């Protein structure tokens, strides 16, 4: 009975995501998202279980000719091999991290959604630093969970992609993502000594792209969208933090992620522009629209809110404040100025879906640089 009650309460909170999808008329997309949404929003499996099994049903592809016929991809593979780093040796783990040290603040006070509200300003400096520590741990925990998803997705796309050059590059991404899991896990456990479970919205996206049998949806979901989300968040934190260790870690990680986005654009460009039927391309457009809506409106640190603010304000009030906060604004700009040009590059920003993006205020980013012209130094200059 308690379980049913919790499920109904979760449905009330997660259900608005589904209602928005219905309003956009994306019923087919909605159907593919129902399983992940049920497992994520309603059952909240990832919060109740130590490990969650997800059935995957996709087709692996062997290549018996071993043809190296994709020079752009081969170049990226070379760059990936020379760009490897060792998370335990190249990062200076001797740096002490003290979340209470305001000279090396984990993030600026005005990044905090409630920074100018009496409930926050009335707190002592130490209490405010404690909250920033919590929020930083929440964000980095989501990176950690996202990186675990990226590790699995990289393994899947390596199996699925056609051609040896793509498979060889994929093998480097598997190693990269493993290293990212290592580095965020170590920072959270050794340095911040606090971490949070996976956010429901992130879980739904990860579940949706893991369980989808279409190889290109894995690329689209992970390499273009989730990697874009991660780059937005990495850039936002790197800009604001004065803590030298996380700054250093993010520099390494951003450099790797730039290659991964590039990989996604290379793998999808020709397939979406020249091989898919119009009907299939539209399905991808609708799917993308829903994931973008989730990414734009839903990463509101609810797990953090429940720990520190649920007693003081309703979740709706928290959502409104968080959505209008400076940190969300910086994060959205950093994220979408990289994602939207990439969507355009692979042909998923047609006139049919432009009004949805316009409504979300995202079309202004379409003129930005896309991969492959977009380089790691562009991404680091965001940060």
Distance, CA of 307 to CA of 312 (rounded, Å): 11
How far is C-alpha 13 from the chain's CA centre?
21
Q: Assign residue 375 a region (left: φ > 0; alpha: ψ between -120 and 50; beta: otherwise).
A: beta
Minimal CA–CA distance to 263: which of 215, 206, 220?
220
Nearer to Fe ion, 257 or 382 (CB): 257
Task: Tell me how far, at minimum, the Cβ of 276 lies from Fe ion, in Å.
Answer: 24
Nearer to Fe ion, 291 or 322 (CB): 291
Which of 45, 145, 179, 180 touches Fe ion by CB under 5 A? 180
Nearer to Fe ion, 307 or 378 (CB): 378
Nearer to Fe ion, 253 or 322 (CB): 253
Which of 150, 204, 209, 349 touches Fe ion by CB under 5 A? 150
Distance, CA of 91 to CA of 244 (rounded, Å): 11
Q: Which two tokens stand for residue 60?
A: 């692996």
Binding to Fe ion (CB under 5 A): which residues in 215-244?
A: 227
Residue 87 CB contacts under 8 Å (≥ 6 apart), including other chains: 179, 182, 183, 186, 252
In Å, how far are 263, 285, 355, 360 from 26, measured between CA atoms? 28, 10, 14, 16
Interface with Fe ion (CB under 5 A), residue total: 7
Distance, CA of 253 to CA of 222 (rounded, Å): 16
**CA quadruple 27, 29, 32, 36: dihedral sign:** negative
For 53, other C-beta atoms within 10 Å of its C-beta total 7
Nearer to Fe ion, 257 or 286 (CB): 257
Which of 167, 191, 238, 260 touches Fe ion by CB under 5 A? 260
Task: Tell me how far, at minimum, the Cβ of 95 lies from Fe ion, in Å.
Answer: 22
In eight-state DSSP terms, residue 55 is -
If binding is defined by CB under 5 A, does position 133 make contact with Fe ion? Answer: no
Task: Tell me how far, at minimum, the Cβ of 256 lies from Fe ion, in Å.
Answer: 6
- The region of 62-70, 84-92, 144-152, 360-368 touching Fe ion under the rule CB under 5 A is 144-152
- The region of 146-154, 185-193, 195-203, 307-315 touching Fe ion under the rule CB under 5 A is 146-154
Task: Tell me how far, at minimum, the Cβ of 206 lies from Fe ion, in Å.
Answer: 13
Q: Are 165 and 74 in contact (CB under 8 A)?
A: yes
Binding site for Fe ion (CB under 5 A): 147, 150, 177, 180, 227, 257, 260
């Amino acid at each position: 009975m308690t379980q049913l009650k919790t499920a109904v309460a979760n449905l009330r909170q997660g259900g608005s995501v589904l209602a928005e999808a219905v309003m956009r008329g994306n019923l087919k997309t909605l159907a593919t998202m129902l399983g992940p949404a049920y497992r994520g929003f309603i059952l909240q499996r990832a919060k109740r279980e130590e490990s969650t099994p997800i059935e995957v049903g996709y087709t692996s592809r062997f290549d018996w000719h071993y043809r190296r016929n994709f020079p752009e991809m081969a170049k990226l593979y070379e760059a990936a091999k020379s760009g490897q780093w060792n998370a335990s040796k190249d990062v200076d783990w001797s740096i002490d991290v003290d979340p209470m040290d305001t000279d090396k603040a984990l993030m600026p006070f005005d990044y905090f959604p409630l920074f100018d509200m009496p409930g926050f300003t009335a707190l002592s400096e130490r209490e405010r630093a404690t909250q920033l520590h919590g929020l930083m741990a929440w964000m980095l925990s989501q990176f950690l969970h996202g990186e675990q998803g990226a590790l699995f997705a990289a393994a899947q796309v390596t199996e699925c992609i056609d051609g040896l050059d793509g498979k060889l590059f994929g093998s480097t991404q598997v190693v990269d993502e493993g290293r990212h899991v290592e580095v965020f896990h170590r920072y959270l456990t050794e340095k911040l000594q606090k971490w949070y479970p996976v956010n429901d919205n992130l879980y739904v996206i990860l579940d949706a792209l893991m369980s989808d049998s279409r190889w290109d949806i894995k690329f689209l979901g992970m390499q273009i969208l989730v990697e874009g989300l991660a780059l937005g968040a990495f850039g936002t934190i790197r800009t604001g933090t004065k803590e030298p260790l996380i700054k250093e870690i993010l520099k390494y990680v951003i450099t790797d992620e730039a290659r991964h986005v590039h990989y996604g654009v290379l793998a999808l460009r020709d397939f979406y522009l020249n091989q898919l039927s119009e009907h299939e391309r539209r399905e991808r457009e609708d799917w993308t629209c829903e994931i973008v809506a989730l990414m734009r409106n839903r990463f509101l640190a609810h797990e953090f809110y429940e720990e520190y603010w649920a007693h003081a304000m309703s979740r709706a009030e928290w959502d409104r404040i968080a959505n209008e906060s400076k940190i969300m604004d910086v994060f959205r700009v950093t994220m979408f100025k990289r994602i939207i040009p990439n969507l355009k590059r692979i042909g998923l920003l047609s006139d049919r879906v432009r009004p949805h993006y316009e409504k979300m205020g995202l079309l202004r980013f379409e003129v930005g640089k896309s991969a492959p012209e977009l380089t790691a130094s562009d991404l680091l200059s965001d940060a």
